[in-house]
Amino acid sequence: MDGPENGAAMGLHASFELRTRAGIPKSGPLGEDLSRTLLHAYYACVSYVDAQVGKMIAALEQAGIRDNTIIVVWGDHGWHLGEMGIWGKATNYEIATRVPLIAWTPDMKARGQGTTALVELLDIYPTLCELAGIPRPDHLAGRSFAPLLDNPDLAWKEAAVSQFPNPALREWAANPLSPGMRETFFGPLIKEVEGRIIQQQGDAWNRELFEEHLTGYTLRSARYRLVLWKDHRDPEAQPVFVELFDHEDDPQEQVNVAAANPEVVERLSEQLEEALK
């Protein structure tokens, strides 16, 4: 796999979900022709969904309720299309955690404009509450981004947070590897992935921890992405591995620069820990 230089061995999976499909190699690279076919299918899917959104908006107009409707289009995850050597979702890197988010309201002033403000999917709920003029439940953790719809250049959040359990030793839907998976044709591939983690972790390797409890917690600031790999059962536990990517110099997250930037790691770690509380 072409993962980040000095990156976490558990940061990437082996494209298990895709490899269950017919015609997909059970291990190794997919090859140029197959990759091109998969990309074609992915882009066709995006085009199809775009057409459905257009039909929905046309139906709203036909029903005479377009000017009384809030529209939000978003995705629940990004998708690796061969980047970093894998295919699929479920990593803690930029390409899997950054998602489409488009909002439209009848009264918004910044129609058709983008923003560089950091927002999170949990912000959608309070945003809809504010736009619809209904009370916001006390338990919500998100922040309404309604003001950005009028002024996309407002100063906003310092960071966005996401998390996902150890991708390398997961099946899909965040499920840990079942014993049966090791008995399938994936057995040798699982051993190969596990071997890379053991080689990197040395004495810190513990199968129960890495399969069942290890989670990647990531904080994305305007410049950096920090990933702390920690035991989710113990909030005070020290991370077993740390990744830091500088988007100013490395927007594709190709090099982990945590070791060279201890002060940045410390500052962002404190910010992430506070956010997780």
Q: Token digits for 83?
A: 């980047």
Average pLDDT over residues 216-237: 95
Whole-angstrom distance, CA of residue 201 vs CA of residue 115: 40
Is the pLDDT at 177 greater than 90? The verdict is no
Residue type, 124: I
Our measurement of the distance from residue 170's CA atom to the centroid of its chain's CA atoms, rounded to an integer in Å, reads 15
Average pLDDT over residues 244-259: 97
Average pLDDT over residues 116-134: 96
Average pLDDT over residues 31-38: 96
Whole-angstrom distance, CA of residue 258 vs CA of residue 249: 14
Higher pLDDT, 179 or 69: 69
Our measurement of the distance from residue 168's CA atom to the centroid of its chain's CA atoms, rounded to an integer in Å, reads 15
pLDDT band at 235 (very low <50, low <70, confident <90, very high): confident
The full set of domains in the chain, from first to last, is 16-276 (3.40.720.10)
Whole-angstrom distance, CA of residue 199 vs CA of residue 8: 11
pLDDT band at 173 (very low <50, low <70, confident <90, very high): low
Q: What is the pLDDT of residues 128-172, one digit of tens each?
A: 999 999 999 999 989 999 999 999 999 999 999 999 999 999 877
How many other CB atoms are found less than 10 A from the CB of residue 24? 14
Q: What is the pLDDT of residues 187-214, one digit of tens each?
A: 999 999 999 999 999 999 999 999 999 9
Q: What pTM was estimated for this model as a whole?
A: 0.93
Specify the pLDDT at position 1: 54
Q: Token digits for 34?
A: 């197959």
- How many Cα atoms sit within 13 Å of 77 on the Cβ side? 15
Residue type, 99: V
Q: Token digits for 23?
A: 């015609």
- Three-state DSSP class for 273? helix
Cα–Cα nearest to 101, from 121, 84, 129, 131? 121
Residue type, 12: L
Is the pLDDT at 174 greater than 80? The verdict is no
- Three-state DSSP class for 160? strand
Whole-angstrom distance, CA of residue 146 vs CA of residue 108: 9
Residue type, 233: R
Average pLDDT over residues 14-33: 92
pLDDT band at 178 (very low <50, low <70, confident <90, very high): confident
Specify the pLDDT at position 141: 87
| Interstrand relation of 80-81 and 71-74 (parallel, antiparallel or unpaired) | unpaired
